[in-house]
Amino acid sequence: MALHPPDTAVTRVLLVDDDEDDYRLTGEIIADIPGNGYTLDWVADYAAALELICRGVHDVYLVDFRLGGKTGLDLIREMRERGCAGPVILLTGVGQPEIDRAAEAAGAADYLEKSRLDPVVLERVIRYARRQHAQEMELERKVAERTAELAEANAALREADRRKDQFLATLGHELRNPLAPIRYALEVMRLAAENPTAIASARDSIERQVRHMVRLIEDLLDASRITRDKLRVDLCPIDMTEPLRAAVEAAQPHMDAAGVTLVAALPDRPLPVNGDSIRLAQLFSNLLTNAAKYTERGGTATLSVELGAPHVVVRVRDNGVGIPPELLPQVFDLFTQVDRTLNRAQGGLGIGLALAKRLAQMHGGDVTAHSEGIGRGAEFAVRLPVLAGRG
C-alpha cells in the first residue's frame, strides 16, 4: 500500500483492488489524465481498505467488485454502516445490469467496466462523483441544520408552554388572594353596621385589595402591549429627578411591608432627559419593588444616581438572596420569576423586570442585572441618555 502526501491542489484517488496488474493499469490511465491533477494510492486488503476509507484522507474511491471472499458492495455497505462518507465508484470486469442496480442501491456514485476505462471517461466519472457527493454533503448539512433549528424551536415552544402554564397558575393565585380579605371586610361591614371604626377599617382593607387587583390588571395590559409591540411612551424633555421621587414614594409601602430599609440618594440638581415621566417612574418603582420582594426582612435596598454625559446611570442594589449566575440571562424574560430560595411567598406575575427593560430601551437606554450569586444580593443598573449639552 502506497500513500501520497496530502496536497489540496490535486484529487487523491484510492484504488481498492487485490490485483496488482489492475493497479498498474489504473495508474497509467490516471497518469494520462491531462493536467496532472490526480494522485493514486492503492490498497489490496479489505480490512485495511475499510480503515483507510474511514480515515477520510482521499477524495474518491475506486473499488473493485471482487475483493477475495467479499465484494465491493460489502465494503460500501460496511463503510456506510460505520458512518464513513466519500464518493465510491465500483469497478467490475464484466458489465452486469444487476450489479449496476446493486451498486446504486448500496450507495455507489457510479459503476464502470474496467475494459472501458480510459482517461476521459475516468476523469469525467470522478468529477461527477465528487460533485454528486458534495451536493449530498451540503444537503445533509442543511437537513442537520434545519433539524437542529426545529429541535431548538420545539424546545422553545415547550419552554414557552411551561412558562404559560406557570404564569396562568400564578395569575389565578394572585387574583384570588385579594378576594378573601374583601369578602371578610364585606362581612365585617354587614355585621358591624353600627361600628364606624370597624367599617372604616374594612373599607381601607377593600381599597388596598382593589388597588392590588388594579395593579395586576395594569401589569397584564402592559404585558399584552409588550408582546404585541403596542407599548407606547410620550417622550419630551423632563427632569428625571421627578419620576425618581415618584418611584421612591410608590415603592416605600412595599419596603415597609417587607421590613426592608430603603436608602435613596437622589441628586440635588436636575437630570435633563428626553422621557416619559409616568413610564420612567414605573420603570424605577418596578426595580425597587423587585428589591423589596427579594430582600429578607431587616435588609437594605439602595437607589443611587451617577451623572456623566452622555448617560445617567441609576443603580438599585439590595443585599438580598441574590441570583444564580446561570439564571441572570432569564431575569428580564416576560412571565419569568426567578426562584431565589426565599422562604416567604412572593407575589407578582413576573412582568415588572421585563417591562422595566422594555421601557429603558424605548428611552434609548438599557437595564442590566448583576449578582455575585446566592446570598450575595443583586444590582440593576439603568443607563439612559441625558439631553445633549445639559448633562
Query: For residue 247, what pLDDT is reported?
Result: 93
Q: Would you tell me how many other CB atoms lie within 10 Å of the CB of residue 310?
A: 11
- Between 218 and 296, the more confident residue is 296
Domains of the chain, each with CATH number or no CATH: 11-143 (3.40.50.2300), 155-227 (1.10.287.130), 236-385 (3.30.565.10)
Contact between 54 and 78 under an 8 Å Cβ cutoff? The reply is: no
Query: For residue 336, what pLDDT is reported?
Result: 63
Query: For residue 5, what pLDDT is reported?
Result: 55
User: Would you call 389 exposed, middle or buried from its count of C-beta atoms within 10 A (0-12, 13-18, 19+)?
Assistant: exposed
The gap from C-alpha 92 to its chain's centroid, in whole angstroms, comes to: 52
Instruction: Give the span between the Cα atoms of 8 and 249, in whole angstroms.
Output: 72
**Rounded mean pLDDT of the chain?**
86
Lowest mean pLDDT among 76-80, 225-229, 256-260, 291-295: 225-229
Is the pLDDT assigned to residue 164 strictly greater than 80? no
Query: For residue 344, what pLDDT is reported?
Result: 41
Instruction: Give the span between the Cα atoms of 211 and 62, in whole angstroms.
Output: 81
What average pLDDT does the segment 150-154 reach? 89
Place of cell 448500496: 106
Closest CA relative to residue 259, chosen from 317, 211, 320, 169:
320
Residue 20 identity: E
Q: Estimate the crossing angle of helix 196-227 against helix 119-176, to 10 degrees.
A: 170
Instruction: Give the span between the Cα atoms of 9 and 24, in whole angstroms.
Output: 23
- Between 113 and 100, the more confident residue is 113
What average pLDDT does the segment 225-242 reach? 88
Instruction: Give the span between the Cα atoms of 5 and 154, in whole angstroms.
Output: 46
Closest CA relative to residue 259, chosen from 231, 290, 299, 224:
299
Query: For residue 337, what pLDDT is reported?
Result: 60
Place of cell 443598573: 381
Q: Would you tell me how many other CB atoms lie within 10 Å of the CB of residue 155?
A: 10
What average pLDDT does the segment 272-293 reach? 93
Query: For residue 349, what pLDDT is reported?
Result: 64
Residue 287's pLDDT band (boundaries 50, 70, 90)? very high
Contact between 332 and 357 under an 8 Å Cβ cutoff? The reply is: yes
Quote the pTM value: 0.56
Residue 339's pLDDT band (boundaries 50, 70, 90)? low
Lowest mean pLDDT among 1-5, 39-43, 111-115, 244-248: 1-5
Is the pLDDT assigned to residue 260 strictly greater than 50? yes
Closest CA relative to residue 62, chosen from 101, 91, 93, 28:
91
Is the pLDDT assigned to residue 17 strictly greater than 80? yes
Is the pLDDT assigned to residue 237 strictly greater than 70? yes
C-alpha cell, 82 = 460505520
